[in-house]
Structure 1
Amino acid sequence: MDRQLGQADSLETLSEVVVDSPASTVHLRTLHGKKQMDRWGTLVLAYKTLGVVFGGLVTSPLYVYPSMHLKSPTEEDYLGIYSIIFWTLTLIGVVKYASIALKADDQGEGGTFALYSLLCRHMNIGILSSKRASTNSSSLSHSMDEVTKKQSKLRFFFESSGVARRVLLFVAILGMCMLIGDGILTPAISVLSAMDGLRAPFPSVSKSLVEALSATVLVVLFLLQKFGTSRVSFLFSPIMGMWTLTIPLVGIYSIIHHYPTIFKALSPHYIIHFFLRNGKEGWLLLGGTVLCITGSEALFADLGHFNRSSIQIAFLFTIYPSLVLTYAGQTAYLIKYPNDHDDGFYKFIPTAVYWPIFIIATSAAIVASQSLISATFSVIKQSVVLDYFPRVKVVHTSRSKEGEVYSPEVNYILMILCVAVILIFGDGKDIGNAFGVVVSLVMLITTILLTLVMIIIWRTPWGLVALYFFVFFVMEGVYVSAVCTKIHEGGWIPFAISFILALIMFGWFYGRQRKIEYELTHKTTLDRLGMLLSDPSVQRVPGMCFFYTNIQDGLTPVVGHYIKNMKSLHEVTIFTTLRYSLVPKVAPHERIVIKKLGLKGVYGCVVQYGYADSLNLDGDVFVGQVADSLQVHIQDCSDGLPSSLVDIQEEISDLEQAKQAGVVHVRGKTRFYIGKSCSWLDRIMLPFYELLHNNCRSALPALGVPLPQRIEVGMLYEA
Structure 2
Amino acid sequence: MSNGVVLNLHFAATPPSSQGKEKEIRETLLLAYRTLGVVFGGLVTSPLYVYPSMPLNSPTEDDYLGIYSIMFWTLTLVALVKYATIAIHADDHGEGGTFALYSLLCRRLNIGILPSNQVYSNSSTYSRIERGVEAQSWLAKLFERSIVARRVLLFLAMLGTCMIIGDGILTPAISVLSAMDGLRAPFPSEVIFAWQSRLELYDIVRQFALLVYITIISVLAHASAALVEALSAIVLVVLFLLQKFGTSRVSFLFSPIMGAWTFCTPLVGIYSIIHHYPSIFKAISPHYIFHFFWRNGKAGWLLLGGTVLCITGSEAMFADLGHFNQRSIQIAFLFTIYPSLVLTYAGQTAYLIKNPNDHDDGFYKFIPTSVYWPIFIISTSAAVVASQSLISATFSIIKQSVVLDYFPRVKVVHTSHSKEGEVYSPEVNYILMVLCVAVILIFGDGKDIGNAFGVVVSLVMLITTILLTLVMIMIWRTPVVLVTLYFVVFFIMEGVYVSAVFTKFSEGGWIPFAISFVLAFIMFGWFYGRQRKIEYEITQKISFHRLEELLADPSVQRVPGICFFYTNIQDGLTPILGHYIKNMKSLHKVTIFTTLRYLLVPKVDPHERIVIKKSNLEGVYGCVIQYGYADALHFEDDFVSQVIGSLILHIKNCSGNAEPDSQEIEQEVSSLEEARCAGVVHVRGKTRFYIGLNCGWFDKIMLGFYEFMHSNCRSGLPALRVPLQQRIEVGMLYEA
TM-score normalised over the length of structure 2: 0.86
Q: 2:698 aligns to what? A: 681
Q: 1:25 aligns to what? A: none
Contact 1:66 1:429 in 2 (8 A): yes
Shift in CA distance, 46/568, structure 1 to aligned 2, threshold 3 Å: same
Q: 2:713 aligns to what? A: 696
What CA distance in whole angstroms lies between the structure 2 residues aligned with 1:682 and 1:213? 46
User: Out of 49, 72, 78, which is 1:63 matched to?
Assistant: 49
User: Out of 225, 233, 238, which is 2:243 matched to?
Assistant: 225
Contact 2:689 2:735 in 1 (8 A): yes
- Is 2:141 aligned against 1:156? yes
Q: Which letter does structure 2 place at the counterpart of 1:674?
A: I
Shift in CA distance, 45/230, structure 1 to aligned 2, threshold 3 Å: farther
Q: Which letter does structure 2 place at the counterpart of 1:55?
A: G
- Is 2:93 aligned against 1:107? yes
- Is 2:466 aligned against 1:479? no
Instruction: Give % identity.
Output: 78
User: Out of 542, 549, 554, which is 1:524 matched to?
Assistant: 542
Secondary structure of 2:572's aligned partner: coil
Q: 2:412 aligns to what? A: 394
What CA distance in whole angstroms lies between the structure 1 residues aligned with 2:658 and 2:333? 68
Q: 1:178 aligns to what? A: 163
Contact 1:543 1:660 in 2 (8 A): yes
What CA distance in whole angstroms lies between the structure 2 residues aligned with 1:217 and 1:713? 47
Q: 2:551 aligns to what? A: 533
User: Out of 344, 347, 359, which is 1:341 matched to?
Assistant: 359
What CA distance in whole angstroms lies between the structure 2 residues aligned with 1:507 and 1:320? 41
Q: Deviations over 1:196-255 (max 9, x none)?
A: 111123332111111111111112222233333444432111011011111101111111
After TM superposition, give the deviation of residue 515 of structure 1 in Å: 1.3
What CA distance in whole angstroms lies between the structure 2 residues aligned with 1:624 and 1:330? 63
After TM superposition, give the deviation of residue 409 of structure 1 in Å: 1.9
User: Out of 330, 343, 346, which is 1:325 matched to?
Assistant: 343
After TM superposition, give the deviation of residue 501 of structure 1 in Å: 0.7
Q: 2:514 aligns to what? A: 496
Secondary structure of 2:593's aligned partner: strand
Q: Deviations over 1:531-555 (max 9, x none)?
A: 2222333222333323223422222
Shift in CA distance, 136/173, structure 1 to aligned 2, threshold 3 Å: farther
After TM superposition, give the deviation of residue 69 of structure 1 in Å: 1.7
Q: Which letter does structure 2 place at the counterpart of 1:667?
A: R
- Is 2:83 aligned against 1:97? yes
User: Out of 116, 125, 130, which is 1:143 matched to?
Assistant: 130
- Aligned-CA RMSD value: 2.9
After TM superposition, give the deviation of residue 129 of structure 1 in Å: 4.6
Q: 1:436 aligns to what? A: 454
Matches for 1:42-441 after TM superposition, within 5 Å: 42-131=28-117, 132=120, 143-146=130-133, 149-199=134-184, 200-201=186-187, 202-441=220-459
What CA distance in whole angstroms lies between the structure 1 residues aligned with 2:112 and 2:646? 36
After TM superposition, give the deviation of residue 333 of structure 1 in Å: 0.9
After TM superposition, give the deviation of residue 499 of structure 1 in Å: 0.9
User: Out of 565, 577, 586, which is 1:559 matched to?
Assistant: 577
After TM superposition, give the deviation of residue 526 of structure 1 in Å: 1.7
Q: Which letter does structure 1 place at the counterpart of 2:388?
A: Q
Q: Which letter does structure 2 place at the counterpart of 1:714?
A: G
After TM superposition, give the deviation of residue 455 of structure 1 in Å: 0.9
Q: Which letter does structure 1 place at the counterpart of 2:576?
A: V
What CA distance in whole angstroms lies between the structure 2 residues aligned with 1:511 and 1:322? 49
What CA distance in whole angstroms lies between the structure 2 residues aligned with 1:152 and 1:322? 42
After TM superposition, give the deviation of residue 57 of structure 1 in Å: 1.4
Shift in CA distance, 74/649, structure 1 to aligned 2, threshold 3 Å: closer
What CA distance in whole angstroms lies between the structure 2 residues aligned with 1:479 and 1:301? 21
Gap regions ≥5 residues in structure 2: 1-20, 188-219
Q: Which letter does structure 2 place at the counterpart of 1:145?
A: G
Secondary structure of 2:503's aligned partner: helix
Q: 2:10 aligns to what? A: none
- Is 2:495 aligned against 1:508? no
After TM superposition, give the deviation of residue 586 of structure 1 in Å: 7.2
What CA distance in whole angstroms lies between the structure 1 residues aligned with 2:568 and 2:406? 18
What CA distance in whole angstroms lies between the structure 2 residues aligned with 1:153 and 1:335? 53
Shift in CA distance, 583/426, structure 1 to aligned 2, threshold 3 Å: closer
Q: Which letter does structure 1 place at the counterpart of 2:109?
A: M
Contact 1:591 1:608 in 2 (8 A): yes
Shift in CA distance, 226/102, structure 1 to aligned 2, threshold 3 Å: farther
Secondary structure of 2:221's aligned partner: coil
What CA distance in whole angstroms lies between the structure 2 residues aligned with 1:438 and 1:289? 13
Looking at secondary structure, tell me which structure has more helix per residue: 2
Shift in CA distance, 207/135, structure 1 to aligned 2, threshold 3 Å: farther
Secondary structure of 1:669's aligned partner: strand
Contact 2:568 2:574 in 1 (8 A): yes
Shift in CA distance, 643/454, structure 1 to aligned 2, threshold 3 Å: closer
Gap regions ≥5 residues in structure 1: 1-35
TM-score normalised over the length of structure 1: 0.88
Q: Deviations over 1:635-664 (max 9, x none)?
A: 556799999555455545544554454433
Contact 1:121 1:135 in 2 (8 A): no
Contact 1:64 1:291 in 2 (8 A): yes
Shift in CA distance, 706/389, structure 1 to aligned 2, threshold 3 Å: closer
Shift in CA distance, 165/651, structure 1 to aligned 2, threshold 3 Å: closer
After TM superposition, give the deviation of residue 579 of structure 1 in Å: 5.9
Number of residue-to-residue matches in the alignment? 676
Contact 2:163 2:512 in 1 (8 A): yes
After TM superposition, give the deviation of residue 127 of structure 1 in Å: 3.1
The range that moved more, 540-549 or 54-63, is: 540-549
What CA distance in whole angstroms lies between the structure 1 residues aligned with 2:131 and 2:165? 32
The range that moved more, 627-636 or 677-686, is: 627-636
Q: Deviations over 1:414-436 (max 9, x none)?
A: 11111111111111111111111
After TM superposition, give the deviation of residue 514 of structure 1 in Å: 0.8
Q: Deviations over 1:155-212 (max 9, x none)?
A: 1222222222222222221111111111111111111111111112333211111111
Shift in CA distance, 233/462, structure 1 to aligned 2, threshold 3 Å: farther
